Amino acid sequence: MKKSLSMLFALTLAFPLAAFAQGTLKVGTVDMQRAFKEYNKTKDAEVKINDAKNAARKEYDDRAEDYKKALDEINNLNKQLESPALSADKKTQTAKDRDDKIAKIKNMEREISDFRQTRERQLQEQLMRMREGIVKEITDVVMEKVKANNLDLVFDKSGMSINGVPVLLYSHDNIDFTNDVIAVLNKPGRAAASTAKASTSPSVTPARATKP
């Protein structure tokens, strides 16, 4: 989110040079990063991501525990094979059991590695979908404010240049409408209404409907 919100949100509906020269250009500012953090859906998304991470971690730990047990069994069989009192037939059978477990544990290693890589990719994709969906919602509300107030330019106060310097060095507080954006986003019933609208829209495919 930091990377995506560090870009300048310059929403230009019109930029007449004559109006600029006459000082009638209407400019507004919004703190997109703050709006993102204070949007209730962001907090809900963080809970979902954390739950998914915890579930993946538990499954990984369970697999790792099974792997450790299998490794202990192999080590015990190796100790038995070192015993001089072990009969030839028993040694042959024990060696076979050990080799079977070694083959099994190699498969477990591959499965654990594949599981970790797959879960990491899935969590990253889920996080990006949630971020993109939330940023779009915030931008849509900003655009509603832009149209309602007939603004010519809107700057993101949280935007940073490639040199690490704030893009917007100064602005009057009275042109900032971040609080209005947050109020609209967190309006009671808004999230439910948006979800219902998305689910009933015939133009939305199932894949897109699942995006936050």
CB of 115 within 8 A of CB of 60?
A: yes
Sort 73 into a burial class: Cβ within 10 Å, 0-12 / 13-18 / 19+: middle
Element (H, E) at 98: helix 88-148
Tokens 């703190």 identify what position?
31
State pLDDT tens for residues 51-102.
Answer: 999 999 999 999 999 999 999 999 999 998 888 888 888 989 999 999 999 9
Q: What are phi and psi of 43, to 5 degrees?
A: -65, -40
Q: What is the pLDDT of residues 140-182, one digit of tens each?
A: 999 999 999 999 999 888 888 788 888 777 778 889 899 999 9
Backbone φ and ψ for 124, nearest 5 degrees, come out as: -65, -40
- Confirm if 177 and 30 have CB atoms less than 8 A apart: yes
Q: Where are the domains of the chain?
A: 2-209
Q: What are phi and psi of 142, to 5 degrees?
A: -60, -45
Please check whether residue 154 is in contact with residue 141, taking contact to mean a CB–CB distance below 8 angstroms: no
**Do residues 120 and 46 touch, judged by C-beta distance below 8 A?**
no
Does residue 118 contact residue 56 with C-beta atoms inside 8 Å?
no
pTM > 0.85: yes or no: no
> For residue 84, what pLDDT is reported?
87
